[in-house]
């Protein structure tokens, strides 16, 4: 077999490697300071399959979002009122860290998580300044059937 070669590091190489690691740690520890926002808009999109909640500032820039699927619910459990309340709990924690207290809520859809999410925001201690239903409604009805030919 033979002798094994052992590579030894010089003092300069070790110092250079240590400096590179320190720089990498310093870059990772720099956290982007978020702006303090006092009011925001909450968009609740409740479908039969999922509930998605997005929070923006008044200009429309997304602050945070969550959905039942991103929290860990799967299948038909995603559209339940329980899942919607858990989504609100996750979002409320993020919003309280940013200092958001006044919310405008815009609800869309006909899923089960719609009312539950609105109630959960009120129970979390947020001031709901306006509540609007923005569910799209067809204004001309469905397309008529084609004419029967005999």
At residue 50, φ and ψ (nearest 5 deg) are: -160, 165
Q: 101: domain range?
A: 39-133
- Tokens at 143, concatenated: 């397309």
Specify the pTM: 0.70
Number of domains composing the chain: 1
**Is 147 among the domain residues?**
no
Predicted confidence at residue 31, as pLDDT, reads: 45
- The sign one gets for the Cα dihedral 79, 82, 85, 87 is negative
Strands 51-56 and 127-133, sheet pairing: unpaired
pLDDT per residue as tens digits for the range 76-131:
899 999 999 999 999 999 999 998 999 999 999 998 889 999 999 999 999 999 99
Residue 22 has pLDDT above 80, yes or no: no
Predicted confidence at residue 111, as pLDDT, reads: 84
CATH number at residue 90: 3.30.420.80
| Spatial distance between the Cα atoms of 111 and 134, rounded to a whole number of angstroms | 13
User: What's the full length of the chain, in residues?
Assistant: 150
135: DSSP letter: -
């Amino acid at each position: 077999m033979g002798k094994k070669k052992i590579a030894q590091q010089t003092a300069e190489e070790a110092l250079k490697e240590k400096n590179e690691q320190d720089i990498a740690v310093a870059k990772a520890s720099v956290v982007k300071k978020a702006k303090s926002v006092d009011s925001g808009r909450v968009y609740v999109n409740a479908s039969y399959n999922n509930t998605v909640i997005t929070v923006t500032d008044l200009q429309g820039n997304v602050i945070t979002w969550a959905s039942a699927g991103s929290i860990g619910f799967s299948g038909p459990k995603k559209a339940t009122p329980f899942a919607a309340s858990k989504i609100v709990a996750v979002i409320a924690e993020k919003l309280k860290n940013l200092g958001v207290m006044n919310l405008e809520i815009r609800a869309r859809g006909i899923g089960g998580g719609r009312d539950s999410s609105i109630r959960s925001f009120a129970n979390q201690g947020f001031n709901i300044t306006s509540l609007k239903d923005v569910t799209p409604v067809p204004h001309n009805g469905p397309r008529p059937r084609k004419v029967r030919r005999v």
